[in-house]
Amino acid sequence: MPLREYATFFRQFRQRFETTGAIAPSSRFLASAMAHPLKQRAGDAPVRVLEIGPGTGAVTRTLVKHIREGDRFDLVELNEAFAEMLNARFDNEPAWKRVREQSEVHVVPIQEFAAEEPYDFVISGLPLNNFPTALVDEIFEAYFRLLKPGGVLSYFEYQFVRSIRTRIGKSEDRKRLTTIDSTMKSYTDRLRFRRDWIFVNLPPAWVQHLRADERSSADSAPTVGETHA
């Protein structure tokens, strides 16, 4: 990633930590894991792809390689500086320019984003551990509102962050993170089919992959599989 993009990332991290979340852009190993379901899609039918919280495009640069002719690629980014940088990359970088006409950056909270049709793949980089519990609930509702039945949600979280912070954090923060953990577990227990361990990232991360169920019932939850990177 060019130095100017790192500079933009760190500037936004200092100014807006609650929505930037990370201390460094995602590694290529994390990006590859986030893109894995899209890379492995079956058949030649066009798909709809939504990336939420792309930041400077650390994951996007992997996703654009797997956008085919006829696909639709939407990006929802609340940070205006990041959105401007993403549009510049679509305008100027060859791999991104290839899919420019199929892609659009939307500057809007994901809870307020309305799509013409649901998506086959939703890839999220939102720093959920930084948010109020009610907002996390709203975001997960948005994820599955925007996914087709059978569609895949992929998102990452830093390894063991919640478990550590619930032990050493302030009482109010411990309570908030415990509630977030319960919310996320209610989805992963039912819908997760894969978890990738990404150690080459700052900090190390998990990538969670969930498949939307038409009824969102515990009876239809798939078996969890785990891989290591």
Rg (CA), the chain: 17
Closest CA to 70 of 120, 16, 124: 120
Least confident window among 8-17, 48-57, 160-169: 8-17
Name the more confident of 229 and 98.
98
Angle at 225 between CA 220 and CA 226, to 5 degrees: 150
CATH number at residue 49: 3.40.50.150
pLDDT at 159: 81
| Contacts (Cβ under 8 Å, ≥6 apart) of 157 | 128, 129, 184, 205, 206, 208
110 has a pLDDT exceeding 80: yes
Please give the tally of structural domains in the chain.
Answer: 1
pLDDT tens digits, residue range 121-173? Answer: 999 999 999 999 999 999 999 999 999 999 999 999 998 777 777 777 788 88
Least confident window among 3-17, 102-116, 154-168, 202-216: 3-17
- φ/ψ of residue 41, rounded to 5: -60, 150
DSSP3 helix / strand / coil % (the chain, rounded to 5): 45, 20, 30
Enter the pTM of the model: 0.83
pLDDT tens digits, residue range 202-220? Answer: 889 999 999 999 754 333 3
Q: List the domain range (segments joined by +) for residue 144.
A: 3-228
pLDDT at 225: 41
